[in-house]
Structure 1
Amino acid sequence: MSTDSRLILGLVLGVAAALSACTIPTDADVPKNETVTESVSAPSEATPAEPVPLDGAGPLAGFAALSKTLDGTVGITLVPVGGGQSLAAGDWHSGVAWSTIKVPLSIAALGEAGKTGAVDGNQLTAISRAITMSDNESAEVLWSELGDPTSAAAKVESVLATSGDVSTTVESQVLRPEFSAFGQTQWSLNDQAQFAATLPCRTDAAEVLDFMGDVSPDQHWGLGVIPEARFKGGWGPDQDGGYLVRQFGIITSGTGQLAVAIAAKPNSGTFSDGTAMLDDIGTWIGTRAQELPIGGTCAPR
């Protein structure tokens, strides 16, 4: 199979049928608030289907050409809100979640608080800061309120499982001393997009989804260039210091809402080049959003 064909795997199917990085603060490009602590049918609990490869032409076929202009490895997965087949392209498929894991973590924290009564203002503030500012200290507070690390990881996994992601294992142990345990979770674009596609359908995610629509302006790269997008980003360095920058969220398409998960690993290894690559992808998606015949909808449950 040619490179171009591999880059556009699965995208035409929709035409036929749609911590943060706890960062090291020596990189001047990294936002200062990222510190070193680290109904449509209800979602099923089955493992999300892998994207179906299908060659051909369609409204997203140009992603192959776009990716050739980007100096690094990129990936994208699309899923209609309410559920549906994943459509994927690019050579990057899975890696460290970084701060994107703060979304299911925040939902788990809300659920835990709801067991004992109303969510208090301090907890809502922590959730708001974890989502809108990607504040690591706030996320660590939420994590600690879920119990010991093993229990906390299980509760976040339960949030994922409710959305059909039963293959992601939330990391409970600190693997790298300078970063949070949960931020080092391995999360694929496919599982992440499938999870995102259920968020508008979940009443327990409503507040978190609202916060995803109020992300700090300094983090409005990637999907943030698309008007009214709701999103959360994550970024951080690998063992060699090269940055992965990723993001997921909900945008509006021509036929409803669409979950999008994107990632970039720049050859330069810098955070700024990673966000610039996601800007190009976000702009590319945004200019075609209304043409995409792959949106969906669902009533909150």
Structure 2
Amino acid sequence: MTNNRRRGRIALAALLGTIALLAAGCGGDPAPEQPQPTGTTVAADPGGGAGTFSIALPGSLAADFATLEQGFRGNAGLAIMPVGGTEMVTFGTWTSGPAWSTIKVPLAIAALRNSSAYNATASSAITASDNGAADTLWQSLGGGAAAASAVEGVLREGGDTVTAVPTVRTRSDASIYGQAEWTLADQVRFAAQLPCLPQSERVVGLMQQIVPSHRWGLGAFGSAEFKGGWGPDPSGNYLVRQFGLIDSPSGRIAIAFAAQPDSGAFSDGMAMLDKMATLISGHLSELAGGHCA
């Protein structure tokens, strides 16, 4: 057997091992038979300087996402992780940007831990994405460095070890906290631990009461607990993103996705999220869910 063929077999074995790992759910409750893997793209070097190759199983979420992405006029990204899990799968070219209103979730948790007097304010900030209410929550934590530290503390509890929340306003037309740079990977990692965090129940419950006008994307799932965020860059081009939790046959799944359309229009970004949500709904049986330990 040549070295190249041997390396090819090793690469295939590594791929199968990776897929098996991603298909395994985490959590304390017994799960039904594990769903089939999503077929996420895996790169390997067959040796001999031949470069890399990638595999996406036909009919899998990975292959279908690649097809969907080809039809997008703009950049999109998707990250998926079982609740309570440690492994994620990611798709697409978009990976990071301002959190916008999605950061209101850890902000509301921090504020309600500090004082239950802000229940109604937190409700407005989460269900209607009210910016004034979110500003009140921020100030209730002391504003500036004190508030940023409190929000970062919640993120750290959720497994996000790197996201930094600004302490001062960086744009006159945007909130301080909304300009935190939040990657999809860190966001889905936080979402996978969100329902497991102490004193998070109130905010997670509010995420299931999003107002009808904001129920696009993950809002198509009746069981979804989610939060959206959107806003323009300095040139006026919109980024639209959401993250949250949905049900699968084997447990709960954390989802984070985003779209940045070439047109810069909010409506086009919203439509891209709708299409990604529809794609996910057709592959739920493949996705490993999980539970809090």
TM category (shorter chain) comes to 0.7 to 0.9
Matching residue within 171, 178, 182 for 2:177? 182
Question: Which residue of 1 is the match for residue 151 of structure 2?
Answer: 156
- TM-score normalised per structure 2: 0.82
Which runs of 5 or more structure 1 residues have no equivalent in the other structure? 1-10, 19-38, 42-50, 114-118
Change (3 A) 1:246 1:129: same
Q: Distance in 2 between matches of 1:274 and 1:216?
A: 19
Provide the residue aligned with 1:79 in structure 2: 81
Counterpart Cα distance in 2 of 1:16 and 1:192: 20
Higher percent of residues as helix: 2
Q: Which amino acid aligns with 2:183?
A: S
Pairing 1:75-224 to 2, within 5 Å after superposition: 75-113=77-115, 119-120=116-117, 123-224=118-219
Deviations 1:21-57 (A, max 9, x none): xxxxxxxxxxxxxxxxxx948xxxxxxxxx9955433
Question: Offset at 1:110?
Answer: 1.1
Q: Separation in 1 of the partners of 2:282 and 2:246?
A: 12
**Cα distance between partner residues in 2 of 1:13 and 1:183:** 37
Which of 58, 62, 65 aligns to 1:63? It is: 65
Deviations 1:194-234 (A, max 9, x none): 00001121231100000000100100111111221110000
Q: Secondary structure of 1:203's partner?
A: coil
Q: Determine if contact 2:157/2:197 at 8 Å carries over to the other structure.
A: no
Does the aligned pair in 1 maintain the 2:41–2:55 contact within 8 Å?
A: no
CA distance in 1, matches of 2:194, 2:262: 33
Check whether the contact 2:23–2:288 (CA below 8 A) recurs between aligned residues. no
Deviation, 1:15, is: 5.5
- In the superposition, relative to structure 1, how do residues 260 and 16 fare at CA in structure 2: closer, same or farther (>3 Å)? closer
Q: Amino acid of the residue matched to residue 90 of structure 1?
A: G
> 1:71 is matched by which residue type in structure 2?
R
Aligned length: 252
Counterpart CA distance in 2 for 1:294 and 1:143 is 36
One-letter amino acid matched to 2:61: L
- Matched residue SS, 1:246: strand
Tell me how far 1:293 sits from its aligned partner. Answer: 3.5
User: Which of structure 1's runs of 4+ aligned residues deviate more than 6 A?
Assistant: none
TM-score (norm 1): 0.79
Q: Distance in 1 between matches of 2:21 and 2:289?
A: 9
Closer, same or farther: CA 14–247 of 1 in aligned 2, 3 Å: farther
TM-aligned CA distance change 1:191 to 1:13, over 3 Å: farther
**What are the superposed Cα offsets for residues 217-253 of structure 1, whole Å, 9 maximum, x if unpaired?**
1001111112211100000000111000000000111
Match of 1:297 in 2: 291
Alignment RMSD (CA, Å) = 2.0
Distance 1:81 1:148 in 2: 31
Shift of 1:70: 1.6
Distance (whole Å) between structure 2 residues aligned to residue 275 and residue 257 of structure 1: 24
Q: Deviations over 1:6-26 (max 9, x none)?
A: xxxxx95665547xxxxxxxx
CA offsets 1:42-89 (integer angstroms, 9 cap, x no match): xxxxxxxxx995543343121100111221100000011002211001
